[in-house]
Structures are given as structure tokens and as C-alpha cells.
A and B are shown apart, each in its own frame.
Chain A
């Protein structure tokens, strides 16, 4: 019996969202008085024994370079075999891009109930219930997992990574038949040097109030200083001022950073739905009636073109950058 956590990686590095999933899985294992184990498909430069710090007693690895590319079909087969072999009762994914591709497949294959987008530890007092966001962040639902084997995919930035005093994890080579992937990767384009939006702890976002794409320099500068990702509202993406993968909101990406700074965004209900799980929201808007102020923790009623350069100077001072 174990809690099995899928350890996702890219460019040879374990993703932060997977460390969150591992810490979350280790806590569930502790609740159930069983061990937490990890499973990693492919190869990484990180030392897998170090995952012991985050609560993994054992890490199963299929060291096959062809698995460094995600193929949800072959991944699912291998993970399902590992679940049978290790007798895993709970399987944890991050609800990141890989998790969204694999967890549903595994659920269907094992006939194991899945809660995708969990934001808290399960309540095991009466059954096994997991809280997730629904209605695009406007509400939460408590979902009962009614099957013997349970799958949870944890929303990124919902559970804190903390390194404990656990010893080295035992790394076990897993022998698996690796099918030839049916999906061929023809190319990858990276938005280089920038922080991925879904993993960012701070997000600086701009709206129509910025008047045009030529005014994004100050947004990017502020984001860079704060080591933040940049985002935008839907009208901005629709007008092609910014790429559509920056669009946050109900029909874009839902995010939950520690700090969300909204500049020149009025805060329509659809936008709020995608960002209202941010821990701290700052709104800068010249319209004091902008609905976003009702959802904000801090606000400045003022002209972004005057306020943002001053903020940049203040951050530079704080960070000791002159």
C-alpha cells in the first residue's frame, strides 16, 4: 500500500509543481499511515534520492530517454503497471499540462475515481472527499472518491513545498515495456527566459487600460524585477496585443499565484474567475468604480502610466538595483 506521486520533469529538471504534488502526497500518506513513493518516467539531472526530503520513501524510475517526451498513452500503461505492482491506493498528479493529459487516462484505465484541480488535503473523516475549484474559480465542490484506488490532481500553487528531515529516497529501477510513441514531436518553441505563467509565484497583468501593445515595456520591466510572469486580459489577447497564451480568466488560463498585480484591468466577472484564487491581489486602475477593487487586497486609484514607473523605481530600491 502506498501513495504514488507522479514526478513530472522538463529539460532534465523536476518541475516545482511536482514537488508540491509530492509534499501533498506525503501528507496524505502520513494521514493514512502508509508510505509515499514517486514515479518518474525518463531521465533527469536532479538526484532522485533527494526526493526523500520531500517525503518520498522510494522513487520508481524508468530510465528510458524516449520517455522524456510526454506520450499520455504509453505513460498511462507504465503507471498503471506500477500501481498494480506497488499496490498504490492513492495516486497524485500535479494538475499541470502533463497531469491533465495523463490523470484522466489513468482514471479510465483503472476505473479509479479522479478529482482534478484539488486545492486542499482530502477529508477522510467520513469517506474520502477532496475539495476542488468549480465554476472557473467562482465556487468549490467537495467530491467523494468512491473507488478503492483514488486519483487526485493537485492545482499548482495550492500546496506549499517544504523540505523536511527525511533521509534519502530509495531509487528503484522499474522495468517496463516502452511502446513506440504514436505522437511524434516535430518541434518545441519556448518563450525563452520568462517565467511560465502557471508556475509563477508573482504575475503582472495588463488590460485595455494600457491602450496598446507598445506600452507593455513597463509591465515587462516590473515583471522582470519581481521575477514574475506576465499575463493579460481577454480583450488584450483578442486584439492580438499579447499572445493568447498570456490570457488569464474564465476562458483563458486559471492561475493562483501568491501575488497578482492587475494594471488597467476593470475586473469583469470572467476575468476574476481565472485569478480570484491568487493569495494577494493588487489593482491599479484610474476608475475608482472598477469592479476589480472589490476583489482586491491592495489598490491604487491612478493612471498606470504615472504609477507603474514609480512602482518600478520602488522595487528597484527594495531589491537594491540602481
Chain B
């Protein structure tokens, strides 16, 4: 069993979001970078659990990024995984990332490809689907549970107002969210061994992105809260009905 886990580097969830150069670039100064939580907590941890069950499983991590992504990949390797591949390019858009990863996936003959359900910075939720299409594989998105039985996966995914359980033969691409696994903290042994695990850098394929960022904006500030006395909550219902007109 060979599993490819797609990893992305994102600003920490508490990072202050600000822009520079006429709102065209994200202010990265002072921002702490983390592994995208969906990639780390769910996709990577579930892959590690599968390897713990079947130690012959090989886990490869892949990311698209320049050298400043290396600490993030080492941190991912400290959680688990056998080796990592960094495609040495600035991530341009979802298609660019998916197409770069597809090149790696084609060479690796993976049985299973995991992604997080989306990154917490771009919120595209697109790389998994694009990758599946480029590889002509089935795709199960927004998985909340993943079980493997030889070469068949049983995957539960979110649907509107419930959950659906699917069965699919490998290979398959799965995007993971809460429920698939539980967050782990890397231990000292993992951190030490991550230092010597192979981290390969490969040059990107010639791929044109399909979209580009023109500018960023911050949401307008709220006008301020209108407080209602706790002794008179009826007034709130009246305001919601007559003023805000939402009930």
C-alpha cells in the first residue's frame, strides 16, 4: 500500500490578516505558519493510522512551495510518513498545484491519495477534485470516516442534512475533514527521526495557472452592537422581526 498525502502551508488560525502593495499581497511578516489543519489533523493522521495497522504501508508527503515550506514538511514528517517531496515553486492557483502534484502521483503508482477538505487560507476545496480528474480516478470529497479493507475503501462523506457511506476500489482520491482522525502532537522520537527522513526537492513542470489574484479586501467593520436588557428579551425578538426583518 502506497499513500500520497498532500500538504499545504497556511498562516496560523489566529494570524492577523492584512495586505500590502495596494491590497495585492498578504502581509506575511510576523505570521506563524502551520500545516493546513485539515491536511495535518485528518489526512496525515489517518494515513499514519493506516501505516500503524499495516507497517508495510509507504507514506509519501507532497507539497508545492519554495524552500520556506521545509520547516512545515519536517513537522509533518515528525508526525509520521516515510519521505517528503517538495515541488520547488510558488503555489499559484489550485489548478497549478493539482497539476504539479499529478506529475508526482503519475510516477509514484499510489493506491490512495489524501488531501484536506480545503486550505484555511484560499478555501478553494479544489485540489483533490482537480487531481482526481487529471489522474482519471474516482474522488470522494468531505470524508468524515475512512476504512480500508484490502483494496476496497469504505468512506463516509458529508451530504446535505446527513452522511453517505460509499464503497470504492483503490486507487482513489479522498478529501478529509473532521471525523476521519483525531489531531496528534509529534513526540520527541518523531521529531528526531524527521531530521533524517528524505526530503526531496523536484523542479516544477511547465504548467500555466488558470486564474490569478487581482486584489484582496477586508470585510467592512460592523456598526456596533445594539444591546438589549436581559430582563426584556422580548425586545430582541421584536427588533429581529421589525427592524432587522430576519424572523
Contacts and interface: CB of A to CB of B under 8 A. Distances in A.
B240 A280 contact: yes
Contact of B178 (A194, A196, A251): A251
A300 B214 contact: no
B192 interface: no
| Interface size class, chain B | 35 or more
Interface string A98-121: 001111111111011111110000
Contact of B211 (A115, A282, A299): A115
Interface residues of A, number: 102
Interface of B: 11, 13-14, 17, 19, 37-38, 41, 93-95, 98-99, 120-134, 136-142, 144, 154, 157-169, 178-179, 209-219, 222-223, 225-230, 233-234, 236-241, 244, 246-247
Contact of A188 (B13, B126, B139, B162): B162
A259 B236 CA distance: 13
Given A104-B94, A144-B211, A269-B13, 13 more contacts: A72-B129, A97-B157, A108-B95, A108-B129, A135-B123, A141-B213, A142-B215, A188-B159, A189-B162, A190-B161, A277-B219, A297-B226, A314-B237
Contact of B167 (A183, A189, A280): A183
A186 B120 contact: no
B225 to A, nearest CB: 4
A209 B49 CA distance: 34
Nearest to B164: A188
Contacts of B168: 182-184
A136 B119 CA distance: 9
B217 A139 contact: yes
Secondary structure of the B side of the interface? mixed
A10 interface: yes
Given A146-B211, A245-B163, A315-B247, A297 B141 contact: no
Contacts of A282: 236, 240
26 contacts: A72-B132, A76-B133, A96-B160, A97-B158, A102-B129, A106-B133, A108-B129, A114-B124, A135-B120, A135-B121, A139-B218, A140-B216, A141-B214, A143-B213, A182-B169, A189-B163, A189-B165, A191-B162, A244-B179, A276-B219, A293-B227, A294-B225, A299-B225, A299-B227, A311-B237, A318-B241
Max count, chain A CB within 10 A of own CB: residue among B126, B130, B132, B215: B126
A321 interface: no
B147 to A, nearest CB: 11
Contacts of B178: 237, 244, 247, 251-252
A97 B139 CA distance: 13
B215 A300 contact: no
A202 to B, nearest CB: 7
A298 B162 contact: no
Interface in A153-187: 182-187
A27 interface: no
A109 B166 CA distance: 24
Nearest to A182: B138
